[in-house]
Copies of this chain bind each other. A is one copy, B any other.
């Protein structure tokens, strides 16, 4: 009696209209929730739709309306807790505002990022949130922005680009912790980042393609200079792209006769690895080495000693980016803004006076 309805050829508005005995246009009005229809007809169409188990085709709808109800997100690595938390912020806002999220991992590779954006644009996303791997060649970003679909840059993005951006006040945070370390007597302070340069060596902040990191290093170097410390560029280590790389870099650095008395890790993955190397090398924190890490990862409070971190509003970063994007989607055409969220230093026990 109640045999399974044939699923393959999905039911369309036309089918519903036919069953309800009205025109396609009228059925579409009821199903699409637009225009005006009499109560009598509405009931009939609704009943027919239910009977046929009508499922709207969002694709067809997007086709005519031009809006897909989708936002595209390109991040470096969703596996990184930083991005997964930011992603949570984005998806939460998206869900609340009725959008759906397409996620693409760039693997921090500029070429992949480029094709990702092209793919998303082809899929007609309504807007984009991108955490650009490299800022040097940003043509694809400009192009995306020019395509008419709003674009928001997340955590990164250079000052020269006239594009909406949401970042944390990394520079200020770096200045703060650097000052603190110097006040405690540290003179040999290392900074380790995943960002790499062509020669795998650091010369000047301009080498750094990632805005957030560049700003931190600028802050670090400026405060050092203020305090009379020179050539601190030599203490900046780049290329800690994987835990293995970090391990190698940290080991060489900490085994050196002129090893640093303090280390600033540019993210929690690096911080964790430095912590491990210290243990391997028998260095005690904070007596032999002070450690500060960016990103308040969950584990940082539970080590011995717990590590002092820069707490970034990561969820808020994603949330703000998504909100800004949705505003644009709703027609806000004010000129590009730059949202800067506050960071906070969480003092724990991995920082102490420099050994004498």
Contacts and interface: CB of A to CB of B under 8 A. Distances in A.
A37 to B, nearest CB: 22
A78 B276 CA distance: 27
Q: Oligomeric state, in number of copies?
A: 2
A102 B57 CA distance: 16
Interface string A75-114: 0011111011101100110010000111111000000100
B95 A272 contact: no
B81 A105 contact: no
A12 to B, nearest CB: 12
A61 to B, nearest CB: 9
A257 interface: no
A104 B105 contact: no
Contacts of A112: 95
Given A84-B84, A275-B302, A59 B103 contact: no
A124 B58 contact: yes
Given A62-B59, A79-B85, A70 B272 contact: no
Given A57-B124, A122-B55, A91 B62 contact: no
A102 B73 CA distance: 10
Contact of A269 (B4, B279, B298): B298
Contacts of A147: 7, 55
Interface in A31-73: 55-60, 62-63, 68, 70
A184 to B, nearest CB: 24
Contacts of A7: 146-148
A80 B58 CA distance: 30
B100 A101 contact: no
Interface string A291-315: 0000001110111100000000000
B122 A56 contact: yes
A57 B298 CA distance: 43
Contacts of A28: none
Contact of A79 (B84, B95, B103): B84
Residue from A8, A85, A103 whose CB has the most chain B CB atoms within 10 Å: A103
A255 interface: no
Contact of A77 (B88, B301, B303): B88
A248 B77 CA distance: 33
A119 interface: yes
Interface string A264-305: 000001001001100100000000000000000111011110
A85 B302 CA distance: 22
A180 interface: no
Interface in A207-245: none
Nearest to A276: B302
Contact of A301 (B57, B79, B276): B276
The 7 closest A-B pairs by CB, nearest first: A299-B299, A84-B84, A304-B304, A79-B88, A58-B122, A58-B123, A103-B103
28 contacts: A55-B118, A55-B122, A57-B124, A58-B119, A58-B122, A58-B123, A58-B124, A59-B59, A59-B62, A59-B63, A59-B68, A63-B63, A70-B102, A79-B84, A79-B85, A81-B84, A83-B84, A91-B103, A92-B105, A100-B102, A100-B104, A100-B119, A103-B103, A269-B298, A272-B299, A279-B302, A298-B299, A303-B304
